[in-house]
Amino acid sequence: MKGKTLSQIHPYAAGIDIGTERNYVSVDGETIKIFSSFTEGNIALVKYLQENKVKTVAMESTGVLWIPLYDLIEESGIEVYLVNSHYIKNIPSQKSDIKDARWLQKTHSFGLLKKSIIPEDDIREMRTYIRMRDNNIDACSQQIQRMQKAFELMNLKLHNVISEIAGKSGIRIIEAILSGERNPDKLVGLCEKSILKTKTDKVKASLVGNYQKEYLFMLRQSYELYKIFQEKILECDKELEMLLKRMNKNIPEPPSTPDKPARHNQPAIEDLHNNLVKITDGKNAAILPGLTDKSLLKLIAEVGRDLSIWETEKDFVSWLGLAPRTAQSGKRKWRLKSRITTHAGQIFRESAMSIANSKHLALKGFYHRIKSKHGAKVAIKATARKLAVLFYRFMTKGLDYVEKGLNAYNEQYKKTTLRILNKKAKNLGYILLPVEEIA
């Protein structure tokens, strides 16, 4: 009995292998057409697809090389499948650019490829500004470290006494030192009143050092670069502010809700909280534990506004790289070490770290229970996954559903704690009694 052959789902499909210098295209799974990666070559490639009546194209998500061609093909009205290279890596025989293009065309024509999630243009623009802003923040952190190194070389221990040398007091002192001031009594007077109340003597002692020329030069260079990157962060904030206003232009004002600013690097965007609530159709996701207006802005830039593109919460956390990965052979199952890292997943991880020291008893208790068994790294990922599930439920089903889930979790947490305490008391020969009965 002969086996059934696969039927073509996309008969007018093409496969494109993208390279830094050349792009390889196959419209039939056999022939290959080569185009340069310059804009002129990309335009010719799109024209070639139209001449061959191609309706859908599959291409690998190779770094950022795919973006210019993706935009051109999308503008022409041809459907684009951006495919994770992990799903097409097992190409028969020796791997090459030509065989990649043929294999992409064949697998796509039979409907064997899954499309990557590409957000709308406004969200992609927001993502660019957010990631550039984060890069500038990282650059600022490097310059702060270099300023601390210059202080160490001069034996100025200011960063050991105050919490941040890039704070108001620290910046004023650095500017005074670079202007030629060396008197500790005058330098300490530049500190905030809260520091002077308890640390005046320590700050004064920390500002006695060896002001050598080369170390002052290092301090000046680092400080000037720090200021430049601070200006660039503000420029990113300005672009984000204009983008949010444009996206919210015709959206009515939502009910007023309290804002939730971040402790560090809060974007300098006018009415940020209200703009975020408007952009998410009146949903204030910042009420969730661990999330702030800043982290919510970053999340929207990564996952978009419509989370229904993920059918279930399991699909969502799997895409984030926060779900445990398992493998099975026969009856044997084992857990795989996850190597998937995403920007959105990292945001949830950072939020989970803040939950560990928060007052939210349910998730805080969950974190510490996992930490006691498997360590901090696993606990952060598990808490990040739970927070991601809450975020998905909030954005797709509303606050009532989330609160119901949290209340149920709190009740279960209390029952589990009580059961453990009763067990420990019984082992020690005691009995737990409610406070009311003792009274």
One-letter-per-residue 3-state SS of the chain: CCCCCCCCCCCCEEEEEECCCEEEEECCCCCCEEEECCHHHHHHHHHHHHHCCCCEEEEECCCCCHHHHHHHHHHCCCEEEEECHHHHCCCCCCCCHHHHHHHHHHHHHCCCCCCCCCCCHHHHHHHHHHHHHHHHHHHHHHHHHHHHHHHHHCCCCHHHHCCCCCCHHHHHHHHHHHCCCCCHHHHHCCCCHHHHHHHHHHHHHHCCCCCCHHHHHHHHHHHHHHHHHHHHHHHHHHHHHHHHHHHCCCCCCCCCCCCCCCCCCCCCCCCHHHHHHHHCCCCCHHHCCCCCHHHHHHHHHHHCCCHHHCCCHHHHHHHHCCCCEEEEECCEEEEECCCCCCHHHHHHHHHHHHHCCCCCHHHHHHHHHHHHHHCHHHHHHHHHHHHHHHHHHHHHHCHHHHHHHHHHHHHHHHHHHHHHHHHHHHHCCCCCCCHHHHC
Residues 127 and 105 in one domain: no
Q: What is the span of the domain harbouring residue 44? A: 13-109
Same domain, 366 and 389: yes
Together in a domain, 146 and 237: yes
Domain boundary among 201, 219, 244: 244
pLDDT in tens, the chain (439 residues): 455 667 788 889 999 999 889 999 999 988 999 999 999 999 999 999 999 999 999 998 878 888 899 999 999 999 999 988 776 666 555 567 788 888 899 889 888 888 888 888 899 999 999 999 999 999 999 999 999 999 999 999 998 888 888 999 999 999 999 999 999 999 999 998 888 888 889 999 999 989 999 999 999 999 999 999 999 999 999 999 999 999 998 888 888 888 888 888 999 999 999 999 999 888 888 888 889 999 999 999 999 988 988 999 999 998 998 887 776 666 677 666 666 678 999 999 999 988 877 776 677 878 888 888 889 888 999 999 999 999 998 898 877 656 566 667 677 777 888 888 888 988 888 888 877 766 5
Residues 45 and 127 in one domain: no
Q: Are residues 300 and 198 in the same domain?
A: no
Q: Is residue 96 part of a domain?
A: yes
167 shares its domain with 221: yes
Non-local CB neighbours of 137 within 8 Å, separated by 6+ positions: 229, 233, 265
Q: For residues 269 and 383, state if they share a domain.
A: yes
Q: Given this model, what pLDDT does residue 439 score? A: 59
Residue that finishes a domain, picked among 212, 244, 276: 244
Overall pTM surpassing 0.85 (yes/no): no
- The pLDDT of residue 418 is 85
Distance CA 94, CA 20 (A): 21
**pLDDT value at residue 1:** 43
User: Looking at the structure, do residues 105 and 139 belong to the same domain, yes or no?
Assistant: no
Tally the domains of the chain. 3
Q: Looking at the structure, tell me whether residues 355 and 228 fall in a common domain.
A: no
Judgement on whether residues 264 and 391 belong to the same structural domain of the protein: yes
Identify whether 8 is part of a domain.
no
Whole-number pLDDT of residue 293: 93
In the prediction, which pLDDT does 52 show? 94
Q: Single out the residue in 57, 83, 109 at which a domain terminates.
A: 109
- Pair (147, 224) in one structural domain: yes
Amino acid found at 134: D
